[in-house]
Structure 1
Amino acid sequence: MPSGVDRAALAAAELPPYPGIALADVTLVDSAARAEAAQAALLAADAVGFDTESKPTFLKGEVSTGPHLVQLATDGHVWLFPTALPAGVAALKAVLESPRVKKIGFGLGNDRSALQARLGVAIANLLDLGEVLRGPGHRGTVGAKMAVAHFFGQRLQKSKKTGTSNWASPRLSERQLLYAANDAHVALRVYRAWAALPG
């Protein structure tokens, strides 16, 4: 990550809010027809934003049954795939396993293994921006909030309450839909900004 990131992070509280994607540009993949449309649009992209959400575990020794939701974003739209609904899983697998489409996200350490274990999906062509943006010699990873502050001069607001809500629920709230959609969409937007840097 170029110099000045730390200053950008410190000043983030004073930055204007990141607007995020509109609910009208988010589709919950809950039917075969929507799965087919999502697959066609996502496979036509060169890169897609990617993230997952899982119902939190609170008890000691409790094993997560997630991911419960997988989010994939193009530049103008986000598709949300509940993993409990068979309709979207085949489409999800086709996109995630495509070597041609680059999958972009933040903090993807557990996502690859969780999807392999839960759905038998072997993700291909995955790029973790958290690793790429930190640069050589830096410890830890760069998060979406810091990247948004640096590249867009805006503050990414993430509700802890929404982030730790029940993602396995058959009825997701508008807050959940937008939270999940933005996690994937912002990764693609940051990737585009990063890829456009000179040199």
Structure 2
Amino acid sequence: MQDFSYPDHEKEAIYRVIAERRDMRHFLPTPVAPEVLAKILHAAHHAPSVGLMQPWRFIRITDINTRRQIHQLVDKERVQTAQAIGEHENSARMAEFLRLKVEGILECGELIVVTLCDKREEHIFGRRTLPEMDIASVSCAIQNMWLASRAEGLGMGWVSIFDPVELGTLLNMPTGAKPVAILCLGHVNSFYKEPMLIETGWKQAKPLADMVMENQWKSTE
């Protein structure tokens, strides 16, 4: 049998970048080199997509006023999310959420909005029974960006606290298209040793053993 595996040092690099990827919130304003940004976007464009539909679209935000408007949309939703947490859990948990830093929109070197394209209903291959495979494909592109960014020494943070209709209107997106991520990308002072929500005590990660089943669903509750 032919061995298609990579050399050990290359395999170690792959597993290392996966393990050290972090959802970053703290950035330096240092610009991202254009050639590095191009490499990261190419990595995204190499992502797998169901039926080769390539539903991802990337809007690079270079206008400072648009960046500020996006920040305002996120901050408004941050408050509404806090209120929902308070209603669902308690006021202490709401206050704890409000103390979290949930984005770096005004500080990061690059701001990119990742969207689903319009006219996705035309793509049937792989989506007839699972139409959500369009967003699964976009998620693969975002993960590629995350890993490429970490390999380049850059931090990236995925912000999902926003109203997609309001953001779509702000960015003049066509009917049927939908924003799914605001990505903060840029240089950082350091990377979190653990995911930030673990470091801050907001939540603990579950072990892999709780996620793996055999043959049938098995509840771990």
Normalising by structure 1, report the TM-score.
0.22
Please identify the structure whose Cα radius of gyration is greater.
Answer: 2
